[in-house]
Each structure stands twice: as C-alpha cells, then as structure tokens.
Structure 1
Amino acid sequence: MAPRLHPADNRQPGKTGTLRTFAGSSHRMPTIYFDILSDADRIIDDEGVELPDTCVARQMALELLGQAILDGSRRGTPGVTKVELRDQNGPFLRVSAAVVIEKL
C-alpha cells in the first residue's frame, strides 16, 4: 500500500464540524476528509482536517492530487487518480486526473 498522504501537517483528530462553508459564521469549522482513489490504491482518510471553507479544501485537494500522481509515477502506475472530499454529510467534491503512458 502507498504511504499515507494527508493534506495538512496540523490536523487535529477528534474534532468535528457542522457546515461545509461558514465564512463569517460563528460555527465550528467542518472536518473535511480527503480520500485518495486510484487504479492501484484506495486510501481512506479517517482523521480529516478542519478547514475554514470549501475554497481552501479545493486547493488542498488539487495539491494532494498532484502529490498522489507523483507518488504513482515513482511506481510507474498509469491510470486515473481521484481525490474525493467528504464531510459529515458525505462526499461533496472530486478532483481527478489521468496519467497516460504511451510508447512512441
């Protein structure tokens, strides 16, 4: 199995949120989970990270997708890699990319 990737070094396990977006709100920050899915691996995030809004979550998902593709390239693994974001209400965003290796 691939090494566990996590979108933030400052995660705080055990905290849960209540909303997907809450800019200007007094509610707790939502806990967002970043699951990495590829043809070779399935890494389910069971810790999550509290984020201020879905814009930050989207940016982190793109960065995590890039890192997952790099990790897959070291193993020579082509195919589709996805990062699915979910909160307490379920999945709400997916970013994906396809890696194609063609011999010319």
Structure 2
Amino acid sequence: MITHDIKKSVSKVNSRIGNGEGVKLIAVRVYKKINRPPILIEPYSEKYCCYPQPTGTLYTINLYEIYKNNKISVKSITDILGSNSSGLDGVSDEYMKFNLKNIASIKKWLDKNYK
C-alpha cells in the first residue's frame, strides 16, 4: 500500500468535543477502478452523547487519489462525496441515519458515482 519511507502523515485528525473518547480511525483501504488512480479510503467515527448536544456517532470520510511517480503522493478528493463526506447516525432534533459507515458501503457508493 504506502511504503514505510513516507515520513509525512496522510491524515490529521483534529480533536473535537464528543464524549471524550475522541476520533477513531475505523479502517484504511485502497479502492481500485479500471483507468482511474487508486483511492485511499479513511473513515473515522466519533461518539456523541447527552443533552444538549446530538447523541449518536458522527462519521467523517477522507478520500485521496494515490499517485506513484518517483515517490507516492496523494491528493484529497473528499469533495466528490458532497454532503456524504460526513454525517450523524443518531438523534439531533430528529433521528438521522448516515449510510456510509463502513468500507463496503463507501466502495458501493464509489462503484456507482466515481467516474
């Protein structure tokens, strides 16, 4: 995947309030589609609890195209997800359901929408 000679971190997770557990990296996978650069998929989750803030899990997804010339480089393409790049699965003023909670659902979305 990414060789160990890369000295720079791909992702920077800024701490948010949540319920104190912090942001958790769910998985890291590479998605491949014919005639397209591979995509590095990084879904994160963070638990939220208790009034007055929303209750549930906030999901955030980062996507990067991977390029290999003399070295490996990545370019953020998270914006292709639009409003699907993050969301709450839980209760705010009403129940909210976020569909891209795991690698399988993200890959399915990419199969359909990544041209």
- State the TM-score, normalizing by the size of structure 2: 0.30
Larger radius of gyration: 2
Higher-RCO chain (CA-CA 8 Å, sequence separation at least 6): 1
- State the TM-score, normalizing by the size of structure 1: 0.32
